[in-house]
Amino acid sequence: MTHDLGSLAAIVAFLVAMMVLARACADEGLFDVLGAHIARWSRGSSLHLLGWAVGLAAVVTATLSLDATVVLLTPVLLAASARRSYAYASVRLANSGSTLLPVSNLTNLLVFASTGLSFVGFAWAMLPVWLVAIGAEYLVLRLWFADELREPSTVPDEVAPVPLFPLAMVVVVLLALAGGAEPWIPATAGAIILGAYALVRRSTAWRDLLAAANLPMAAFILVWAFVVAWLGSTRVGSWFDDAMPSGDGLVSLLLVAVIAMIAANVVNNLPATLLLLPAAAAAGPAPVLALLIGVNVGANLTMIGSVANILWRQAGGRTVSTVREFHLLGFATTPPIVLLCTVVLWAWTSLIW
């Protein structure tokens, strides 16, 4: 089994550009202001604050990618209230909330062409899945952290106005992506323009933007992807090809999602996508989307399921959680959510296709 990795460098370049763009947004105060607004809108209710935190994490993930959520939004939520529920909202929604757009996750970009869908068509097919995943994650966090959510949250006295230029730049980049542009082009342009704007205003520094690019991680992703692609040409790839179902019925989609979830938590979700995509693509667009549910939503199962999980711990997750709790929560709740989202995908695509 082989997979064309010629576009992988462009996909990783998109990630680098989006991380720089997100860092410039953060340094311009966009995330802090949004965090302050959701704290005020909660009016002292921890449950309302959790709802806003889940919603904000889902939107940031969908628009700026999951890595922006775990690296930049996690500190904001912890600053609003240093509680486990809000910290977990960022990482859980970074994975589960990354199914909506082709640009929300590197895995999405990797499979996008194989679906045969347009940018809008992809979003339309995954919209119910995304909404159900968000709702399910909110219920999970509300029940799992019920004790701490009984305590009231703090409300800020003053909230600064939303910085309009960073917000406008994000909207422009998204519109360009929806228009069919190569993802790395508008992302890079947006990162350069907003980065330069922030540098001129001295709200950021070159070393901060360079650190946000995380070039060592980008290099690691490329190397690991090539290693796994090589494995795909061996008996390992043949085994995955044989294990993947060939149909697009409900049972087949469920099997695809479960196999993808297991693979993602053995070798990480990006390499797992490389391994499984050829067999899924041969069965049609619905199995490819089911694959995404498995590698994205299913990445919440273990710490190695997604690079975002590791980045989340570095961004502050380790201060309010343990590896043991992460895995207890993951094993107890992730498989049911993956199955639920897959059923929704099957029902919705059966209706619209």
DSSP state of 73: I
- The whole-angstrom separation of Cα 64 and Cα 66 is 7
Residue 136: per-residue pLDDT: 98
Residue 347: per-residue pLDDT: 98
Q: What pLDDT digit, counting tens, does each position of 131-181 carry? A: 999 999 999 999 999 998 888 877 777 778 889 999 999 889 888 877 777
Residue 1: per-residue pLDDT: 40
- The whole-angstrom separation of Cα 272 and Cα 195 is 33
Residue 335: per-residue pLDDT: 98
Residue 237: per-residue pLDDT: 65
CA 141 to centroid of chain Cα atoms: 17
Element (H, E) at 314: helix 307-314
Q: Alpha helices, DSSP H only, in 179-268?
A: 184-200, 206-213, 215-232, 235-243, 250-267
Q: What pLDDT digit, counting tens, does each position of 42-67 carry? A: 777 888 889 988 998 999 899 888 87
Which residues, other chains included, contact 156 with Cβ-Cβ below 8 Å and sequence gap of 6+?
36, 39, 40
Which amino acid, 126? M
Q: Are 214 and 16 in contact (CB under 8 A)?
A: yes
- Return the structure tokens found at 60: 């940031």
**179 three-state secondary structure:** coil
With a cut of 50, list the residues of the chain below it in pLDDT.
1-3
